[in-house]
Structure 1
Amino acid sequence: MSLTDLPILGMLRTRMHWHQARQALLAENVANADLPGFRPRDLAEPAGNGAAAGLAAPIGASVGGDGLARTEPAHFGLSTQDGPNADPRRFKGFEVRPSGNGVNLEEEMMKAGDNQSDYQLVASLYQKSLDALKIAVSKR
């Protein structure tokens, strides 16, 4: 087995490839922001690699429909679909214009920025893992 075949490095490589593919898709959404009838697309998180995959809710907590853990019954929940701030023009998180285009440049650029910072974090972890392997092999 090669040193680069370690599970942690494979997981980090998979995550970097996912971020690269997502960045290309987000760039496509921005490029087609004026195309009538265009619907933005996004990639789903890889199974088991999500940010909350290893996190569990506190003991005795119930998880509501909004994904937030309620440790006290008096906690408020978020209702994004109903309520005073609900926007009926929204379609799965994207605003649809009269031309049928669903690209919201502000949301797409926020996603692209978040994706870039997540990619940089994963790349940094990959580099640090390689550095740790080099130190272990060279017995510094």
Structure 2
Amino acid sequence: MGIMNMPIFTALTDKMRWHQARQGLLAENVANAETPGYQGRDLAQYNFADHLGGGSSATISVTATQPMHISVGGDTSAAFGAQRMNSFEVTPEGNAVSLEDEMMKVTTNMSDYQAVTSIYQSSMKILRTAMGRS
């Protein structure tokens, strides 16, 4: 098995592709912010567990221990497909894109992409060092 075929590297590569696809959708949302009737789109959340083959069967769950805690739940079968966003703000023309929200998503997406590429590069460097290559 080649280094690039290791499950962690394929998952990191998929995550980077997911961020690239999301950046494209967010750019479309910003570009159509003034288009009457336009509904913004976003990708479903990426889940590493869905993309790592084999691995551990251990699971982690979140439990609210106090009644005032926020309950946390999520869709673990998320796919790459684009989905319509739920927006609370709709202009009189029917546009449901908020530029402020979209720019926050763009910034978050960009920093997450940089974090994934950093992890990928560090992992490659560690493996090269372990194999005796610099």
Q: How many angstroms does 1:46 deviate by? A: 3.0
1:101 to 81, 92, 95: 95
**Number of residues of Structure 1 aligned to a counterpart in Structure 2:** 113
- Assess, with a 3 A threshold, how the Cα gap between structure 1 residues 30 and 133 changes in structure 2: closer, same or farther: same
Partner of 1:30: 30
Classify the secondary structure of the residue corresponding to 2:41.
Answer: coil
Partner of 1:85: none
Return 5+ residue gaps in structure 1 as ranges.
62-69, 79-90
Partner of 2:116: 122
Partner of 1:56: 61
% same residue: 47
Normalised by the length of structure 1, the TM-score is 0.72
AA partner of residue 114 (structure 1):
T
Q: How many angstroms does 1:2 deviate by? A: 1.1
Matches within 5 A, 1:1-140: 1-49=1-49, 55-57=60-62, 61=63, 70-73=64-67, 75=68, 77=70, 92-138=86-132
CA distance in 1, matches of 2:11, 2:48: 10
Classify the secondary structure of the residue corresponding to 1:138.
Answer: coil
Return 5+ residue gaps in structure 2 as ranges.
51-58, 72-84
Normalised by the length of structure 2, the TM-score is 0.75
Higher Rg: 1
**Contact 1:94 1:103 (8 Å CA) reproduced:** no
AA partner of residue 105 (structure 1):
L
